[in-house]
Structure 1
């Protein structure tokens, strides 16, 4: 595998058919992959998909969709400038959980922003989050606070920008919060939210929201958009699962944030702080009506479960 970050880049040439090239970082991840797929459905955009694993299965799938897949690393400042050269826009998502180092995440975000300035990028969309410091929770949420710092840097950069702050992925119920079988056709869902609602977002809708912003960047310039497709309590989440997956039945296994912090997996304490923050901000953390106006086909949790019924049944076998 080549380690040249400018591998296959045709940035200095006009995009095919005069399309606007959008550089998408984290292209093989949840958000980046959604953005690549949605942009490629729109005839005015071409996509340069950035990944550290251009020969991987996920990257090959993007190639089949006609994305230009390039090898890139957000720690490589010189390589970033070459990757961004000639592009119209940039979608940037940084991944704290890849290395669990907030300072590195901030540095990577700043590297891309500086490269965007050098390349003359017309609009940057950053997957940001708000700062949790001073919110009343017991400890830090590094993945939030790091992204808040990058968001601040972008705001002061002089670039045209929008920040998209995403809600809890519906897809988390396939992995981190997969329901646990307790008896025949009986399952429990454990998310430390108590009776407070949680904001939810289907991953596939993220890309469409980003595409709508790139279609009209002036309208969304300088805005921090708090995106969510739905807002439900975990009891309501369980009722929705039961509705679509009967005879399987789902019940909320309540757990406090204090109990969650004592779990043994890496990052449990920080995640408990995150859920504490979600509880404190349950009234206004995200804006469901605005999101559904931005992307009118945005999924409710009910429609998402219905769409993913077969996949979900396979996951909980």
Structure 2
């Protein structure tokens, strides 16, 4: 059951994942405290209006974070995607160590679904598994969530939607598992609500599974005009190590592992399909991508 008195301390609350978590926690009655870089900017003030308690500071401000963690029930840790690998590891370990030092009841760390059993030797791919390994060694109840590829990634400007096509990572007849960012918050809220069930787990999460052909059909319906699907060419993949790594992982690596969507729906009965997401919160992003000139041509 939810504690109802002690807050959850949320990192990244002005971003996608942290914002989703803060919103979902508030909805089910958890008080939320959030670390923000600037408590007077628009995103922070919007959080405050919803009832989030703001703590101004940066990842380097360990004294600020330590003080903010006191009297909390749980901590949700997620790090910005644009961090250098060594900074990501340093901050991820620091947050976890502080949570253990304070004696927080439950730490939830958001990792990535591309994490596998072995390190790749590439720093940016190995940051999250290094943090995971450290988290598991701590004397604190932890849950690691690994969201699958975000639906939002498929409707970003610059991937051809304005020209009537989507160019992405899978072959047209292969499938990709996707996560709606708003679902992540609901999963995390469920995890905090049941430490006995989820404590110690590493939970790969997804909202839907679709083929390239199904992406084409859903986007065509959403756009109201034909959208053709294609995989990145071999030349593009050869020239971009990040894209090549993800494409390979989707064929025979961690991103190819099947998440049980029925089990996901038991945890989050409001689970979104790609079509339902496009009709809801994904609508604005789709409209923007349809209007934007392709920068990858």
Instruction: Give the alignment of 1:247-266 within 5 angstroms.
Output: 248-256=225-233, 258-262=235-239
Match of 1:316 among 275, 283, 290: 290
Match of 2:128 among 135, 144, 147: 147
Shift of 1:82: 1.3
1:272-293 residue CA offsets vs partner (Å, 9 max, x unmatched): 2122212213542534222221
SS where residue 290 of structure 1 aligns?
helix
Task: Summarize the Cα distance change of 1:53–1:174 in structure 2 as closer, same or farther, 3 Å threshold.
Answer: farther
User: What is the aligned partner in structure 1 of residue 191 from structure 2?
Assistant: 213
The unaligned stretches of length 5 or more in structure 1 are 1-16, 263-267
Residue range with higher mean Cα deviation, 249-258 or 306-315: 306-315
Residue range with higher mean Cα deviation, 47-56 or 218-227: 47-56
User: What is the aligned partner in structure 2 of residue 286 from structure 1?
Assistant: 259
Aligned equivalents of 2:181 and 2:50: distance in 1? 18
User: What is the aligned partner in structure 2 of residue 265 from structure 1?
Assistant: none
User: What is the aligned partner in structure 2 of residue 4 from structure 1?
Assistant: none
Q: Does residue 80 of the first structure (1) align with residue 52 of the second (2)?
A: no
Task: Summarize the Cα distance change of 1:177–1:140 in structure 2 as closer, same or farther, 3 Å threshold.
Answer: farther
How big is the alpha-carbon RMSD for the aligned residues of Structure 1 and Structure 2? 2.2
Shift of 1:126: 0.5
TM-score scaled to structure 1, two decimals? Answer: 0.83
Aligned equivalents of 2:122 and 2:210: distance in 1? 23
Match of 1:67 among 52, 58, 76: 52
Shift of 1:177: 6.1
Aligned equivalents of 1:204 and 1:94: distance in 2? 17
Shift of 1:21: 0.3
The unaligned stretches of length 5 or more in structure 2 are 292-297
Larger helix percent = 2
1:107-127 residue CA offsets vs partner (Å, 9 max, x unmatched): 111111111012110000100
Match of 1:98 among 69, 82, 92: 82
Aligned equivalents of 2:162 and 2:68: distance in 1? 46
Task: Summarize the Cα distance change of 1:310–1:164 in structure 2 as closer, same or farther, 3 Å threshold.
Answer: closer
Q: Does residue 228 of the first structure (1) align with residue 206 of the second (2)?
A: yes
Q: How many matched pairs?
A: 285
Aligned equivalents of 1:141 and 1:189: distance in 2? 28
